[in-house]
Chains A and B, each alone.
Chain A
Amino acid sequence: DADVTQTPRNRITKTGKRIMLECSQTKGHDRMYWYRQDPGLGLRLIYYSFDVKDINKGEISDGYSVSRQAQAKFSLSLESAIPNQTALYFCATSDTHSSGTYNEQFFGPGTRLTVL
């Protein structure tokens, strides 16, 4: 089974609808991240969480919210979806580390969201 799973894998919705994308991990990592990928723009960080009680905005958080229900689960919500939120969304996890070191981020398979 995959270590980082995302549901759904594909979703088509209409403008104004509320959408939730879910991410679960079995790696036991404390840190989780949500990115969106757009053609020609690479990946951009939406939100990140260092533990259940620590949630932080990334560079493009407007229009999104998140919930860290447990160490293993991190959900991304679009309260009122709009067409320019059409993108590929990735969840990632990493282990906690001390200053001056780096721990690899592990990515889920992605959710392709289309907002009509």
Chain B
Amino acid sequence: AQSVTQLGSHVSVSEGALVLLRCNYSSSVPPYLFWYVQYPNQGLQLLLKYTTGATLVKGINGFEAEFKKSETSFHLTKPSAHMSDAAEYFCAVSDNYGGATNKLIFGTGTLLAVQP
């Protein structure tokens, strides 16, 4: 079975500081990995995804994540936080290997606060 662990349910950074949100996964097969963002009172929006190919993935709003197989990690980073980045972020893995289920397994989320 696949699973996702997000370290830190709450992260607070200052505006302009580096954002680092941690995600580790467990999977017995090559995973597909995702980061979703949820702004207050809204649904989830895909930030970026890793399926195959380049392990450094760039997403929207200046975010990027690197797939590190040896560390089973897919941490999300942004060099300089903006107030508008305040939201909840979810890491997810898909059990899509060999079949076509497209199901997502989500982590428990990290709430990012950006201080002025």
Contacts and interface: CB of A to CB of B under 8 A. Distances in A.
Contacts of B102: 31, 94, 97, 102-103, 105
A98 B100 contact: yes
Contacts of B42: 109-110
B43 A90 contact: yes
What bracket does the count of chain B residues touching chain A fall in? 20 to 34
B98 A99 contact: yes
A42 B91 CA distance: 9
A84 B108 CA distance: 18
A99 B49 contact: no
Given A4-B43, A90-B44, A108-B43, A99 B100 contact: yes
A42 B90 CA distance: 7
A103 B96 CA distance: 10
Contacts, number: 59
Nearest to A40: B108
A107 B108 contact: no
Nearest to B109: A42
A89 B45 CA distance: 15
Contact of B106 (A44, A98, A101): A44
A52 to B, nearest CB: 17
Interface string B96-108: 1111101110111
Interface of B: 9, 32, 41-46, 49, 51, 90, 94, 96-100, 102-104, 106-109
In order of increasing CB-CB distance, the 4 nearest A-B pairs are A107-B43, A42-B106, A43-B106, A107-B44
